[in-house]
């Protein structure tokens, strides 16, 4: 009797195991929280350079990946601090820094922060026809555990009223990141409003993740212009959950933009 009982348990367990193997797997995907923020080298509209304040803002958003523009590295004006490394320390995130140019005994450029390791980090010089301020894009591969990997790109385009440099830089961004099959999140300060030819050139290649809820990002104290963006491609591979410009009016001359995305594996 006891042996028959053991045999029945074994048969039932084996049947349940085979049934679970036969059932289609349904991998769970969680939202990726993306933040882009022009730091103005950490100097707020109150004239204070305060990286702890910036770090609190980043941490409070629970961002998984962050692109930062106007980041100093050991310059005189910001006390010789490696701002990207310090923000990574304060937030507990991985970081990578890209120098756009030498400045005041150090460097000036952009940074990426991430909850997950940043691999294959590259600094991409962008066209600089007037030879005024060099501009770059920085890119890295990110692979959240159990989810598809993607390319994360930060940039900061020319700010002059004449958009010729911005146009050339945009053309280069499309060449670099708009043609291949790699899922991509392209973010940053584009210094261009949605109706300009800059953004109109990007939209055939990238989806504006804030299009359904657009909001201005600058000036921070009372925003009137939308020039900071989070763009994704291919559109079918990203489900946009939420988008918001955060009501932070003091820490920088820009407000941060936060978007929640769910990666959708292509079948």
The radius of gyration of the chain's CA atoms, rounded to the nearest angstrom, is: 22
Q: Rounded to the nearest 10 degrees, how much is the dihedral formed by the CA atoms of 59, 62, 64, 67?
A: -50
Res 118 pLDDT > 50:
yes
Q: What is the span of the domain harbouring residue 134?
A: 31-251
Res 44 pLDDT > 80:
yes
Res 27 pLDDT > 50:
no
Report pLDDT digits (tens) over 199-218.
Answer: 999 999 999 999 999 999 99
Give which of 257, 247, 84, 254 is closest to 185, Cα–Cα.
257
Residue 191: per-residue pLDDT: 98
Res 6 pLDDT > 60:
no
Q: Residue 230's domain is classified under what CATH number?
A: 3.60.10.10
Assigned domain for 78 exists: yes
Report pLDDT digits (tens) over 51-96.
Answer: 999 999 999 999 999 999 999 999 999 999 999 999 999 999 999 9
Assigned domain for 26 exists: no
Residue 20: per-residue pLDDT: 37
Please state the rounded mean pLDDT for residues 214-233: 97
Q: Using an 8 Å Cβ cutoff, are 45 and 249 in contact?
A: yes
Q: What is the pTM of this model?
A: 0.88
Share of the chain above pLDDT 70, in %: 88
**What total number of domains does the chain contain?**
1
Both ends of the chain: CA-CA distance in Å?
Answer: 51
Give which of 253, 237, 265 is closest to 44, Cα–Cα.
253
C-alpha span between 188 and 85 (Å, rounded): 19
Assigned domain for 22 exists: no
Q: At what angle do helices 83-91 and 51-60 cross, to 10 degrees?
A: 50
Assigned domain for 220 exists: yes
Assigned domain for 16 exists: no
Res 1 pLDDT > 50:
no
Assigned domain for 133 exists: yes
- Structure letter (DSSP) for residue 31: P
Residue 267: per-residue pLDDT: 61
**If pLDDT is split at 50, 70 and 90, which confidence band does 29 have?**
low
Res 176 pLDDT > 90:
yes
Residue 121: per-residue pLDDT: 98
Assigned domain for 17 exists: no
- Structure letter (DSSP) for residue 41: G
Assigned domain for 241 exists: yes
Tokens 């670099």 correspond to what residue?
Answer: 176
Res 167 pLDDT > 60:
yes
Token pair belonging to 260: 């929640």
**Residue partners of 207: CB distance under 8 A and separation at least 6:** 231, 232, 233, 235, 238, 240
C-alpha span between 200 and 196 (Å, rounded): 6
């Amino acid at each position: 009797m006891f042996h028959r009982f053991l045999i029945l348990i074994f048969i039932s367990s084996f049947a349940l195991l085979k049934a679970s193997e036969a059932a289609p797997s349904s991998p769970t995907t969680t939202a990726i929280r993306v933040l882009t923020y022009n730091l103005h080298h950490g100097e707020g509209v109150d004239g204070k350079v305060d990286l702890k304040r910036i770090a609190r803002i980043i941490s409070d958003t629970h961002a998984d990946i962050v692109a930062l523009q106007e980041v100093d590295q050991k310059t005189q004006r910001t006390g010789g601090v490696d701002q990207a490394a310090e923000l990574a320390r304060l937030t507990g995130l991985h970081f990578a820094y890209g120098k756009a140019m030498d400045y005041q005994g150090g460097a000036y450029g952009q940074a990426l922060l991430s909850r997950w390791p940043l691999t294959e980090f590259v600094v991409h010089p962008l066209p600089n026809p007037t030879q005024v301020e060099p501009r770059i894009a920085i890119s890295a591969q990110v692979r959240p555990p159990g989810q598809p990997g993607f390319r994360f790109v930060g940039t900061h385009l020319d700010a002059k009223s004449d958009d010729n440099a911005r146009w050339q830089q945009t053309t280069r961004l499309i060449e670099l990141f708009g043609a291949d099959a790699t899922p991509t999140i392209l973010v940053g300060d584009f210094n261009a409003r949605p109706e300009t030819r800059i953004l109109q050139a990007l939209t055939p290649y990238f989806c504006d993740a804030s299009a359904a809820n657009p909001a201005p990002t600058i000036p921070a104290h009372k925003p009137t212009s939308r020039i900071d963006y989070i763009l994704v491609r291919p559109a079918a591979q990203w489900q946009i959950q939420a988008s918001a410009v955060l009501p932070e009016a003091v820490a920088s001359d820009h407000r941060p933009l936060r978007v929640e995305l769910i990666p959708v594996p292509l079948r």
